[in-house]
Amino acid sequence: MPTVILINLSYTVAAVLFILGLKFLGNPDTARRGNALSSLGMLLAVVVTLLDHAIIDYRWILLGIVAGTLIGAFAARLIAMTAMPELVALFNGFGGIASLLVGCIALSQSQLDRFILLTIFMSIMIGGVTFSGSLVAWGKLSERITGRPLVFNGQRFVNGGLLLANIVCGVMFVQHPEQTLWLVLAVLLSTSLGVMTLLPIGGADMPVVISLLNSYSGLAACAAGFAISNNILIVAGSLVGASGIILTNIMCKAMNRSLANVLFSGFGAASGASKKIEGDVKAISTEDAFYILEAAQSVVVIPGYGMAVAQAQHGVKELQGLLEKNGCEVVYAIHPVAGRMPGHMNVLLAEADVPYDLLLEMDDINPRMETFDVAIVIGANDVVNTAAREIENSPIYGMPIINADYARTVFVLKRSMASGFAGLDNPLFYKDNTRMIFGDAKETVNKLIRELSS
């Protein structure tokens, strides 16, 4: 009895650490502490679970711990910030396949009532969808698979059929668990559903996809916790699942989509080619841009994935310092879905030690946009695409954007006139107050730094 009390107490402590970790992750100043607390909670949960069960041989467990530690350490050190979205997608997939495997192994338990069988099936189905869907998301983010929606006639009926087949398979599995055919079908159908669900999703919707798959991985873990009667796994999975759903809802509002549309409509399928925008582009040199910046009293920087690709965040921070020394106010406008994962720009700018209080959300910056002398758009396209306001037949019409065009002058730093990840042309580039500065964003920013320094 004392052992049971100690184990439950340890699980409670681990759960508290998880909750505190999530709370601290909500603020950049305490994010590292939150990450450390969550990791400590998981370590405690794993150790206590191992001590609570009769382990025949610890060598494989120790080998797994060492391998996982090395992989995590190398990933943290070697993966570039530009590759962080696809790494997160892979991590979601690993969570899904782990839950699927736990569900399969749970079948070896001696007592399996229908509730346990149902949770086993749920862990297998949700885990399979998460695993295969995350692999497709990884492929799209890393551009090994086209970022365009892959659609065909009757696709929704196929996906609906796969979902119905999964449900039927689940019913048969619960009724006849001794027949391994249903287990094999559950794995095949769930992984197929994950692939078919992700294929019609366009690249611009990837931040929503990442948060949704993160929620799925948590739900799969929660189901696996019920399957093996492990309370801390239930708690951890519930926390991840709930936080992922909340984040998904935030992302949906930022994209002007409903949660039902995300879950059931193959969202992003409409993200295709839009009406070709025509007009004259006004390109300027960094020398001319310098004179405008030198006279500016207020500047807003609007970052996007292109800034991550160019690794220009450190240069932008240095440019900010020079402008501030010149008496200019500098702030950053962050769209909720800028980049390719939730919070991508926040993480990128935090890496460059940009003060968090200078990062303003879309709803806070838009009412002030007309007061800024210069808006600098760095590697962003979709989150400032005025087609969302101006072109009714555009796939992104109605999507809330950062109103960069309302600033007195707009500098757009781009390599070329190529469209963004969503594949849509941007009327902003042709407006009278917009000036294009072509070239690598990092080199452009460094040239501006040299001009301001001299």
Q: Catalytic residues, which ones? A: 382
> How far, rounded to the nearest angstrom, does the alpha carbon of residue 244 sit from its chain's CA centroid?
10
Q: State the Cα–Cα distance between residues 218 and 235, nearest whole angstrom.
A: 10
Q: Return the bridge partners of 414, or none.
A: 438
Helix axes 31-51, 2-25, angle to 10 degrees: 160
Give one DSSP letter per residue of 147-216, joined into a string: SS----TTHHHHHHHHHHHHHHHHHHHHH-TT-HHHHHHHHHHHHHHHHHHHTT--GGGHHHHHHHHHHH
Strand partners, 332: 301, 359
Is the CB of residue 203 less than 8 Å from the CB of residue 421?
Answer: yes
What is the gyration radius of the CA atoms in the chain, in angstroms?
25
Tokens 């391998």 map to which residue? 67
- Between CA 84 and CA 344 the distance in angstroms is 8
Give how far Cα 286 sits from Cα of 314, 408, 446, Å: 18, 18, 10
**What whole-number distance in Å separates Cα of residue 237 and Cα of residue 400?**
32
What is the C-alpha to C-alpha distance for residues 149 and 164, in angstroms, rounded to an integer? 23
Q: Specify the 3-state DSSP secondary structure of 274.
A: coil
Which DSSP category does 333 fall into?
Answer: E
143-to-85, 136, 137, 140, 348 alpha-carbon distances in Å: 12, 10, 10, 5, 20
